[in-house]
Chains A and B, each alone.
Chain A
Amino acid sequence: MDAAISARGLTKAFGATRVLTGVDLAVAPGTLLALLGPNGSGKTTTVRILTTLLPADAGAATVAGHDVRREGAAVRRSIGLTAQHATVDELLTGRENLELFAGLHHLSGPEGRRRAAELLERFELADAANRRVGTYSGGMRRRLDLAASMVAAPRVLFLDEPTTGLDPRSRAELWSVIRELLAAGTTILLTTQYLEEADQLADRIAVINNGRIVADDTPDALKRQTGSERLLLRLERPQDLPRAGALLARAEGGPHLDADAGEVTMAIRDPEQLRHALARLHEAGIGVDQVELRTPTLDDVFFELTKAAA
């Protein structure tokens, strides 16, 4: 089947600043692609190009089978967008917002009212339906935003950092909504700064950095590449660092040495590796002050990806 979203060689510059330097993407119908990257990496620019808000300088993209440049109107009929900042009217009520967008999607009056009521119920906003959006909490606003994107049941949904700034509970709620949309066959492109979010939701993760896709793979494959967890060892004596590095170098995912902090960081895949590492250092008489195990951050992913590319 053809990709629901595809982009080839998208570039975009604002003045002298090159924001995208060649973005290629393909999202299969009914799947979720997470576009993962730090602030300023080009995530939002990519979404704006794919949703017809911004013309690309070069490259081509199709969404739901329509060219974003030449068939903008057809693209707009097939998509929903939840942009990074709230895209609902704060002075209107939740219901008025949804009915307005239903009307602008050209549903008939009764159809629009039915659809709005259904979505308010579905997104647990029925109690707040007749309150102004200005009185909503951040999580409620995000849910309304998502509901507004779903008014015309779009085949392709763009979610630009939908959970940024949400508390953990609201985030979990939004995740479950996204999973249900996915189960119902919607194709979703979601941008995020959080590896965990991409891991939870995505069929594929495309990592973007400095306007370029630096990795595009399944979450499992990416994790194999970066190690599922990071082990941090702070040595009692920083001068032991080179020796510790040499001892652990045989381990997969190679150690990263921080001379200033006297720390060794390495990717580990199973608990056995932790035991081996500690045993090796112990046998060599290298004292360990502190052991820390943490899930990989975006920094780690980038560190690994750029190391792999070098």
Chain B
Amino acid sequence: MSTTTATAGNHPARASGVDHGTTGGDLGRLVVRALRRESRRLDALFINLALPVGIMVVFVYVFGGAIATGSSGLSYIDFVVPAVLLLSAGYGAALTAANVAEEMNEGLIDRLRTLPISSWVVPTSHVIASVARNVVTAGLALAAAVALGFRPDATVLDWALVLALVGGYILAVSAMAVVWGLAVKSTQAAEAFSFIVLFLPYLSDGFVPAETMPGVLRGFAEHQPITPLVETARALLLDQPIGNAGWIAAAWLAAAVVISVPTAAVLFRRRTTS
């Protein structure tokens, strides 16, 4: 037992005379931990990877023949791929809510909070891990789309902007998911967020043209954030005119992040000091 003596001389953190701690380092360690956790939940990992590919197949083969794309003049696969891309990225990012809620309900958060680290790195690590994981998932969904016959027509700059758009969407949804995960008490309630994020794209211009919807729904579809996001992705991938969609999409994403981050900070503080 002499190895774990508590005298200052044997204090391992001080013995070297160097504190190797940086906030970035702490964040990195927790991101690695979050990704490790993800990779070990095989059921969740499978759904995360299989769902986008499955949805892509369903839309292209099952609905593809029956759905007309209206005035866009696109084949259905070209029309729907950007929406499926955002849908699957958003769904994966929304799972962050359950991860955060689970973490808050486990004893581990107490240990993390008694460590000499800034407490905000804990929720932040979930957001960063979510972005890393879901950018990869979105890439897989896109690869599946190409295998099914999707032929993008995009320059290198277009691809970079698509990456920024999808990454920004994942970031915004993950940040909102942290807020949701901190606001609800149970993991089950946190999972409801995935459902909302999964459902919203259906009420957009993403899967069927908004012009085919009845009045009220059409008004909603044309003004909800998913529509400009899908239109931007479509324009970038298929070399079409982008119009105002790009700026509107960027504004929605920026607003979501700017509102979510301080809200999450306040909720985290409240949840961890009572």
Seen from chain A, the residues whose Cβ lies within 8 Å of a Cβ on chain B are 14, 48, 51-55, 73, 76-77, 79-81, 83-89, 91-92, 96, 100-101, 103-108, 111, 115, 118-119, 122, 132, 148-150, 152-155, 180-181, 183-187
Contact = CB atoms under 8 A, between A and B. Distances in A.
30 contacts: A51-B114, A53-B272, A54-B274, A76-B116, A80-B114, A81-B114, A85-B107, A86-B108, A87-B111, A88-B111, A89-B37, A91-B41, A100-B33, A103-B26, A104-B29, A104-B116, A104-B117, A105-B13, A105-B115, A107-B13, A111-B16, A122-B3, A152-B11, A152-B13, A153-B4, A153-B12, A155-B8, A184-B4, A186-B6, A187-B6
B26 A181 contact: no
B156 interface: no
B115 A85 contact: no
B19 interface: yes
Contact of A153 (B11, B19, B117): B11
Contacts of B72: none
Contacts of A52: 113-114
Interface of B: 1-8, 10-13, 16, 18-21, 25-26, 29-30, 33, 36-37, 40-41, 106-108, 110-117, 272-274
A155 to B, nearest CB: 5
B116 A77 contact: yes
Most buried by A among B11, B13, B25: B13
Contacts of B20: 106-108
Contacts of A153: 4-6, 10-13
B200 to A, nearest CB: 30
A85 B106 contact: yes
Contacts of A107: 12-13, 20
Contacts of A180: 1, 4
Contacts of A96: 33, 36
A181 B1 contact: yes
B5 A79 contact: no
Given A103-B25, A106-B21, A152-B11, A53 B4 contact: no
B158 to A, nearest CB: 39
A254 B1 CA distance: 45
Given A77-B116, A89-B37, A92-B33, A108 B6 contact: no
Given A73-B116, A76-B114, A105-B115, A91 B19 contact: no
A116 to B, nearest CB: 11
Contacts of B6: 153-155, 181, 184-187
A86 B111 CA distance: 9
Contacts of B33: 89, 92, 96, 100
A122 B106 contact: no
A76 B111 CA distance: 10
Contact of A87 (B37, B40, B110): B110
Given A54-B273, A87-B108, A108-B16, A119 B4 contact: yes
A83 B4 contact: no
